[in-house]
Amino acid sequence: MAVAVLLAVSLAVLVVVEQLEQADKFAYSANTQRILTYLRLNGPILLLNFGSLCTLAGFTRTDVLELRIGNLIGNTCGMTYFLFNRLMPPFTWASVFGMTNAYNIYRILEERSDRVVLSREEQLLYEEHFLHHGVTPRQFKIIYEKSAVRKVPKGEIIIRANAPLDYVYLVVGGKTEASILGRHLTYASSLPGNCVRQKGGDR
């Protein structure tokens, strides 16, 4: 699909440029004729520069989706330029980069889609700990499905300082305490409202 779209755009622009080359056969005003002549002579290079600007703009964005889109537009413009000038090796490489960007755009859009069903418990957990950190529902679902619930008896030590960790722990109920060099530090908790009801800091 992505290959077909990229090729269709490139061929469409190529056809337009070729039509401009036949502009002398038609009766246009002087100004229109000058514009058509300019586009006929400089259209491909203008398109290539526009693609370069889009690629540069993409690299200035912090959102990876915007970066990919900018690169895809740049790839498409490059493909058109190379195809117009019959430069097949660069055209092939631009096509490969374009297809790669198109595929990754599709993956990002799928990952960011909201078509994920969360249970009430999952929804509460997501809103309390993940939503405000930019984690999407689909990303949260992947994390949740790889996790396991562990009930810890009161007073049991979960982790020790400087000990190697095999897992990342998230407290989703109750309260924990940490002690470093004899000082009791902040808790970790979950459930909506716990962060407000419980006091942090040394105690």
In the three-class reduction of DSSP (H, G, I as helix; E, B as strand; rest coil), residue 179 is classed as strand
In the three-class reduction of DSSP (H, G, I as helix; E, B as strand; rest coil), residue 87 is classed as coil
- Residue 132, classified by CB atoms within 10 Å of its CB into exposed (0-12), middle (13-18) or buried (19+), is exposed
In the block, residue with structure tokens 């808790």 = 187
Q: What is the pLDDT of residue 86?
A: 85
Lowest model confidence (mean pLDDT) among 6-10, 118-122, 136-140: 6-10
Buried b (16+ CB within 10 A) or exposed e, 28-54: eeeeeeeebeebbeebbeebbeebeeb
Measured over all CA atoms, what is the biggest interatomic distance in the chain, rounded to whole angstroms?
A: 91
Q: pLDDT tens for residues 12-61?
A: 555 555 555 555 555 556 777 777 677 677 778 888 888 899 899 999 99
103 falls in which pLDDT band (50, 70, 90)?
very high
State phi, psi for 183 to the nearest 5 degrees: -100, 135
C-alpha to C-alpha distance for 74 and 57, rounded to whole angstroms: 10
Average pLDDT over the chain, rounded to an integer: 75
Amino acid (one-letter) located at 77 = C
Q: What is the pLDDT of residue 79?
A: 87
* pLDDT higher than threshold 90 for residue 130: no
Q: pLDDT tens for residues 73-91?
A: 999 888 888 888 888 898 8
State phi, psi for 185 to the nearest 5 degrees: -105, -165
* pLDDT higher than threshold 60 for residue 175: yes
Does the pTM of the predicted model rise above 0.75? no
